Amino acid sequence: MSPNRPFRFCGGLFWAESAEEWTDGARRLESAGYDTLVIGDHFSKTLAPIPALMAAASATNTLRLACTVFDNDFRHPAALAREVATVDVLSGGRFVCGIGAGWLKTEYDSVGIPFDSPTVRVSRFEEAVLVMKGLWSDQPLTFAGKHYEVTKLDGQPKPKQRPHPPIFIGGGGKRLLSFAAREADIVGIGPRANPGGGLNRSEETHACLAEKVQWVREAAANRFDQLELAALIWEVAITDDVRGAAEAIAARRSRPIEQVLESPFFLMGTIDAIVDKLLALREQHGISHISVFPSDTERFAPVVERLAGR
């Protein structure tokens, strides 16, 4: 893939106390030049993705809408496929479907869903993606897997984007990233999930990122040039004191300061320095799809203005 794939910037918007506050937030992202509004799928202080994204669609004109990512274990893929297709139709083809195998064990425990082994969760997730793609196709789907069985089901409605909305799959393990390389349109690369829940923060390095991009390249083969590679930035700090910002982040997140300074998933420095870091990230690793959390969208906006579409 060429390192010159244009940047795409995604701004988080997770919560609002009213419809007006929510739609104002969506409009601010659009006017700031963000390509996509992203919301998570958690039982924490986050609005439910589907209705929230539909409200954002009604309030904006060009902003794409994404959940990064739906936890597969909380919905049957046939139901999720229908909801995604519906929002895609009603938004005029602006939906991006992010889906994952699940990693946050505390949420599973809270709602009484078994947190199965990584092998089982990823296997179930792989089948779910195939079911959803099948239901978005023009023909009725019959699917017999280990986890899901669908018989002669003609998914309705069909999404506006054909053959389907862009599929975002994020992960950190080789099996999940290899599957994403074969089946997704956007591949999010980050730390792998620990078997007992949570993420392996020690993998937030350029060396690990390079290794994972290589896994994607090998698994994607001839379709690698069609993929967008994505990264979620944990924090942004616009500052002249990079080390001071790194010390504060390290204290908040219980990480070694040198790990924060070296990580490609933290952006610290002046606007010019962060622009240079993102250009280098794209040049070195092919990462062009950048997401930031709600707390960072405003401070990151000058960087978006400089790089969006470049």
Q: Which residues, 6+ apart, have CB-to-CB distance to 286 below 8 Å?
A: 1, 3, 5, 213, 229
pLDDT above 60: residue 55: yes
Q: Which residues, 6+ apart, have CB-to-CB distance to 59 below 8 Å?
A: 22, 23, 26, 27
Residue at 157 is within a domain: yes
For residues 66-77, average pLDDT: 96
Residue at 169 is within a domain: yes
pLDDT above 50: residue 2: no
pLDDT above 80: residue 289: yes
User: Which residue range(s) make up the domain with 186?
Assistant: 8-234+266-307
- Cβ–Cβ < 8 Å for 61, 92: no
Residue at 254 is within a domain: no
Task: Please state the domain count of the chain.
Answer: 1
Tokens of 154: 């003609």
Mean pLDDT of all residues belonging to the chain: 96
Which residues is 251 bridged to in the sheet? none
- Cβ–Cβ < 8 Å for 40, 46: yes
As a whole-number percent, the residues of the chain with pLDDT over 70 amount to 99
Q: What is the CATH number of the domain that holds 33?
A: 3.20.20.30
Query: Using 50, 70 and 90 to split pLDDT, how confident is the model at 198?
Result: confident
Residue at 21 is within a domain: yes
Residue at 45 is within a domain: yes
39: number of Cβ within 10 Å: 23
Query: Using 50, 70 and 90 to split pLDDT, how confident is the model at 197?
Result: confident
Residue at 2 is within a domain: no
Tokens of 82: 């229908």
Q: Which residues, 6+ apart, have CB-to-CB distance to 9 below 8 Å?
A: 33, 34, 35, 36, 290, 291, 292, 300, 303, 304, 307, 308
Per-residue HEC secondary structure of the chain comes to CCCCCCCEEEEECCCCCCHHHHHHHHHHHHHCCCCEEEECCCCCCCCCHHHHHHHHHHHCCCCEEEEEEEEHHHCCHHHHHHHHHHHHHHCCCCEEEEEECCCCHHHHHHHCCCCCCHHHHHHHHHHHHHHHHHHHCCCCEEEECCCCEEEEECCCCCCCCCCCCCEEEEECCHHHHHHHHHHCCEEEECCCECCCCCECHHHCCHHHHHHHHHHHHHHHHHHHHHCEEEEEECEEEECCCHHHHHHHHHHHHCCCHHHHHHCCCEEEECHHHHHHHHHHHHHHHCEEEEEECHHHHHHHHHHHHHHCCC
Residue at 60 is within a domain: yes
Stated pTM of the model: 0.96
- Cβ–Cβ < 8 Å for 155, 103: no
Degrees, nearest 5: CA angle 172-175-179: 100
Residue at 255 is within a domain: no
- Chain segment 201-230, per-residue pLDDT in tens: 899 999 999 999 999 999 999 999 999 999
pLDDT for position 196: 85
